[in-house]
Amino acid sequence: MTDVTTGEEAVSSPAHLNWHARLNLRLQLGPRGTRLVHNEHEGPLYVQKPFYPEGDELAHLYVLHPPGGLVSGDRLQLDVEVGNGAQTLLTTPGAGRVYRARADRALQHQLNHFQVGAGSSLEWLPLETIIYPNARTRLETRVDLHAGARFIGWEVTSLGLPACKLDAQEAEVSQRLTVTCEGEPVFVEQFHLNAQTRRLFNAMAGMQAKPINAVFVAGPFATDSPFGAKSEESIQRAEWIAQQNHHHSEALLNSAGPGMAGESLVGESLVGLSQVGDFVVGRYLGHCSEQARQLFQRWWAQLRPQLLARLACPPRIWFT
């Protein structure tokens, strides 16, 4: 059987070696604010309870996966429906891991599907995903936005463990991030690493041998916001915000990240921030996942008040 997504020959594992997990969440806005009204899970994937550090209108949820990683044949599926007018922030308490594949090369699959109702907001701010040597994985995230919905999210992927000087040799990775607005695709990011594309990993037009690849997405901004409107004044304001973010980026990239003090790799990171339609898109390519997340948190803190009319409120789990 051929995998319709990658075009590769699909490989299956014996059922007793597969560990599938699924989490289905639904949030609704009611008289007491945003509430988690449906929480159904199969296997080791769940949330304990919502937290409300910003008040009843916005729920913080921590997605827990106790095994901590994927092995051959595993499949994780996260389905989240945010009802009209509801607001939620999702994060993870630790990094995700995709471990070395078994000899059968069965796929390690993670699928996230977010449906964001009219006038609601979703923030998807997970910690990084670490791809171990010889893994074989497909990582998919789809965000469907309805009229007036807003989204801020990021994905940080580590090809190997740079701090241990261990690269993702022989790994096969297929990664896709899709954002739609009222059924129309507005942002699609794809990444494929296999034997045929590996040469691009070291190429100047590729990843330049930098193992941390990360993308940040925020929007859509309303027509009266700096990024949404088309007037000359709004474009100037958009450029000013981008310049401010680049100043923050340079200050961060010129300082040694945690665990990397004194290493020359810190100064070699690449950062870009741009406008794509009504969205702000940021990219990081470098050697330190912690550095990427610190940078993205700065962008989040600056853009969140404009998009959601809320100051940044970092989840408590980030400090534990």
C-alpha closest to that of 172 among 197, 201, 157, 194: 194
* 45-50 LR contacts (CB < 8 Å, sep 24+): 45/21, 45/76, 45/77, 45/78, 47/23
Residue recorded with tokens 């494929």: 192
Average pLDDT score, the chain: 84
Determine what percent of the chain is predicted with pLDDT higher than 90: 57
pLDDT in tens, 163-181: 887 787 788 999 999 999 9
Domain-wise residue ranges, the chain: 23-258+284-319
CB-based contact 41:55 (threshold 8 Å): no
> Is the confidence at residue 184, as pLDDT, over 80?
yes
pTM of the model: 0.86
C-alpha closest to that of 300 among 290, 313, 287: 313
> Is the confidence at residue 4, as pLDDT, over 70?
no
Cα–Cα distance for residue pair 187/179, rounded to 1 Å: 5
> Which phi-psi region, left, alpha or beta, contains residue 178 (left: φ > 0; alpha: ψ -120 to 50)?
beta
DSSP label of 183: T
Under the banding of pLDDT at 50, 70 and 90, the label for residue 92 is very high
